[in-house]
Amino acid sequence: MRCVKCREPAVLEIRRHNAAFCAPHFLDFFTSQVERAIQEMRMFDKTDRILVAVSGGKDSLSLWDVLLRLGYQASGLYIHLGIGEYSERSKEKVLLFARKHEADLLIVDLPAEYGMNVEEMAKRSHRVPCSACGLSKRYLFNKVALDHGFDVVATAHNLDDEAAVLLGNLIHWQVEFLARQSPVLESTHPKLVKKVKPLYRLSERETAAYAVLRGIDYIVEECPNSVGARSLLYKEALNFLEAKAPGTKQSLYWGFLEQRKVIAGSILSPAGDGNKASLRECIHCGQPTTAEICAFCRMTEKAMEKMRTIRVGPAKLGSRQE
């Protein structure tokens, strides 16, 4: 197998593009796919301040790395969820990357700030851990970006993630979620920060290859709460199809992005404005929400209430670490 650019031995074959690349040409390919996503979807430019949500895994550290190399103003945001050893090790990887690249990093410590880790928060608010975690992360990404004057929040969802979410939304015909699924969610309220996914053109295998070739030290283990997640089942199904018919994931997701423009205004709303439901400010925290009190405040208040009945007396709140 030879590199399609220089005929040197290839390190990676990308069957959906009918191509193979040597290490330098793969890194060029990866970088150009990210740049193309940013330009074509008008995600941000060099004047914008970007907050990159980082977990310590290959996708988010690769995204942070490529944005810094491309000369974007990219700061990291790590949310410490308090999931035992997994959180400690992932935080170490993020700190290591930030130090090595002399990059700006913000850390929100959930247990210190809210008096409980994400699993306790889930239990006390009668949610499953991933639901409490997802809600907390969405809330904190927006809040931190707003508090610190960032223009956009970038998350590291790749083609595999997006195709699996799409498959799940289609299987259950989650029309509202389909309407919101886009690599760009524009701000539709002064307190709602724009969200983007610059890795949507690249597969999980490609982000892993990028991380390895760049020498990025990332956490390989998955969060213990991911075991048995429905999204992993959809990923497995898509991996099976991809092995038999290369290009399946790309065709599914990119095809959806094309089609949603065609049927915009009928079932789905146009790209990026799927969250246009009238927003107002939460009466407790001031963050944008469709209800009087936002979902995050409702969850934490319920969890705190439960804690008060156990511990007797209000929980002591720590302050955010930065």
Q: How far apart are CA 74 and CA 166, in angstroms?
A: 28
Q: Quick check: 123 binds Zn ion (CB under 5 A)?
A: no
**Least distance (Å) from Zn ion to the CB of residue 117?**
20
**Least distance (Å) from ligand SF4 to the CB of residue 81?**
6
Q: How far apart are CA 256 and CA 250, in angstroms?
A: 9
Half-sphere exposure of 65 (CA within 13 A, CB side): 25
**Least distance (Å) from ligand SF4 to the CB of residue 267?**
28
Q: What does the H/E/C string look like for 142-179?
A: HHHHHHCCCCEEECCCCHHHHHHHHHHHHHCCCHHHHH
Question: What does 284 interact with, of Zn ion, ligand SF4, none (CB < 5 to 8 A by kind)?
Answer: Zn ion
Question: What does 129 interact with, of ligand SF4, Zn ion, none (CB < 5 to 8 A by kind)?
Answer: ligand SF4
**Least distance (Å) from ligand SF4 to the CB of residue 153?**
16
Q: Quick check: 245 binds Zn ion (CB under 5 A)?
A: no
Can you tell me which of 180, 191, 205, 284 binds Zn ion, judged by CB under 5 A?
Answer: 284
Q: How far apart are CA 208 and CA 243, in angstroms?
A: 18
Question: What does 3 interact with, of Zn ion, ligand SF4, none (CB < 5 to 8 A by kind)?
Answer: Zn ion
Question: What does 133 interact with, of Zn ion, ligand SF4, none (CB < 5 to 8 A by kind)?
Answer: ligand SF4
Tokens of 18: 């009918």
**Least distance (Å) from ligand SF4 to the CB of residue 83?**
6
Q: How far apart are CA 258 and CA 169, in angstroms?
A: 17
Q: Quick check: 238 binds Zn ion (CB under 5 A)?
A: no
Whether residue 74 contacts residue 50, with contact meaning beta carbons closer than 8 Å, is answered with yes
**Least distance (Å) from ligand SF4 to the CB of residue 11?**
30
Count of CB atoms situated within 10 Å of the CB of 197: 23
Contacts of 44 (CB under 8 A, 6+ apart): 38, 50, 72, 151, 152, 154, 194, 196
Tokens of 96: 């290591």
Question: 């970006």: which residue's tokens?
Answer: 145
Question: What does 108 interact with, of Zn ion, ligand SF4, none (CB < 5 to 8 A by kind)?
Answer: none
Can you tell me which of 22, 66, 116, 166 binds Zn ion, judged by CB under 5 A?
Answer: 22
Please give the torsion angle defined by the CA atoms of residues 33, 37, 38 and 40, in that order, rounded to the nearest 10 degrees.
Answer: 120
Whether residue 167 contacts residue 251, with contact meaning beta carbons closer than 8 Å, is answered with no
Q: Which of 1-9, 54-62, 112-120, 123-131 is the region at the interface with Zn ion (rule: CB under 5 A)? A: 1-9
Can you tell me which of 1, 6, 232, 233 binds Zn ion, judged by CB under 5 A?
Answer: 6
Q: Which of 19-27, 77-85, 104-112, 156-164 is the region at the interface with Zn ion (rule: CB under 5 A)? A: 19-27
Q: Which residues bind ligand SF4 (CB under 6 A)?
A: 118, 129-130, 133-134, 223, 225-226
Tokens of 148: 């610190």
**Least distance (Å) from ligand SF4 to the CB of residue 233?**
14
Comparison of 82 and 272: residue with beta carbon closer to ligand SF4:
82
Whether residue 287 contacts residue 140, with contact meaning beta carbons closer than 8 Å, is answered with no
Give the interface with Zn ion as residue ranges (CB under 5 A): 3, 5-6, 8, 22, 25, 282, 284-285, 294, 297
